[in-house]
């Protein structure tokens, strides 16, 4: 397994890999867990070689967010990836990704509005910018992302389509279903921030979402079901709920009532200073 941090060695490594087969990319910010490794295994089923990027992208963090304390454990991450048979780890320095004088930002309108786009202004500009750079740097045949970050996945699909960054086919950007703990909580690097008490209370998030979905399917109005979910999370120990909304699964437009178009329930809530997000299909 090669580990590179500068562009010239990356280009040489990518050229060598692509000369002997197809290449899948799994972008990450490190602090790998079973959810990331599930993406790696799915990538191995899609291509001859798998490349993983590890880069804590400062442009997707707000001024009051957790950039400084975001876990960085490159040595551990690389050991996990080598055991999974990964061919290449692209772990650029901040200077390699954003050289002095860097002045370009990529924005994706529409699907980036609302939800985390409203709660975290500028976040998806940072995501779109770094992913556009990663696609140009690694030139993958296919890229895989977790469905836990469904809005991010929608932004990246629109980005790739609009800028012709990947092969002109929908399956070039693959979403992999959310991996969950035994109690239903979605795996996330930020779960490590939770105290034992907050971690125990956090199961109210997936449980409350399942209850809201069941209620909506049984005929409860969406607004009533999401208000009940909001109250249940606060009662369980969450400090606040950024949003609890049902949206069109593709366009991310708000949905007032269920219809023939697939919809999803999206939630972001804060507990013990940690912001957790999740989504489930309706």
Q: Enumerate the active-site residues.
A: 36
User: In DSSP terms, which residues pair with 246 in a beta bridge?
Assistant: 265
| Cβ neighbour number for residue 50 with a 10 Å cutoff | 30
CB 115 within 8 A of CB 266: yes
CB 30 within 8 A of CB 19: no
User: In DSSP terms, which residues pair with 52 in a beta bridge?
Assistant: 26, 89
Element (H, E) at 246: strand 240-248
- The edge-to-edge listing of strands for the beta sheet with 263-271 is 240-248, 263-271, 274-281
Please tell me the total number of residues recorded for the chain in this structure: 282
CB 59 within 8 A of CB 177: no
CA distance 26 to 152: 14
Instruction: Tell which residue, 254, 60, 55, has the closest CA to residue 156.
Output: 60
């Amino acid at each position: 397994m090669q580990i590179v941090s500068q562009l010239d060695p990356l280009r040489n490594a990518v050229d060598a890999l692509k000369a002997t087969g197809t290449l899948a990319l799994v972008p990450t910010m490190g602090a790998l867990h079973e959810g990331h490794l599930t993406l790696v295994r799915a990538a191995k089923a899609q291509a001859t070689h798998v490349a993983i990027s590890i880069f804590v992208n400062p442009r997707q963090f707000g001024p009051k967010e957790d950039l400084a304390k975001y876990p960085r454990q490159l040595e551990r991450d690389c050991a996990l990836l080598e055991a999974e048979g990964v061919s290449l780890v692209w772990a650029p320095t901040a200077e390699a990704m954003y050289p002095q004088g860097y002045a370009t930002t990529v924005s994706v309108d529409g699907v980036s509005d609302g939800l985390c786009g409203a709660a975290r202004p500028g976040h998806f500009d940072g995501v779109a910018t770094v992913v556009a750079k990663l696609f140009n740097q690694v030139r993958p045949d296919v890229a895989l992302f977790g469905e836990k970050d469904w809005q991010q996945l929608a932004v990246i699909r629109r980005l790739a389509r609009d800028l012709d960054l990947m092969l002109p086919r929908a399956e070039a950007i693959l979403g992999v279903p959310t991996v969950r703990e035994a109690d239903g909580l979605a795996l996330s690097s930020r779960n490590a921030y939770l105290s034992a008490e907050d971690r125990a209370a956090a199961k109210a998030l997936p449980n409350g979402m399942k209850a809201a979905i069941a209620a909506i399917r049984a005929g409860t109005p969406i607004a009533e079901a999401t208000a009940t979910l909001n109250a249940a999370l606060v009662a369980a120990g969450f400090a606040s709920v950024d949003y609890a909304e049902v949206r069109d699964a593709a366009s991310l437009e708000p949905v007032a009532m269920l219809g023939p178009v697939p919809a999803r329930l999206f939630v972001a809530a804060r507990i013990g200073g940690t912001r957790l997000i999740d989504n489930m299909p309706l």
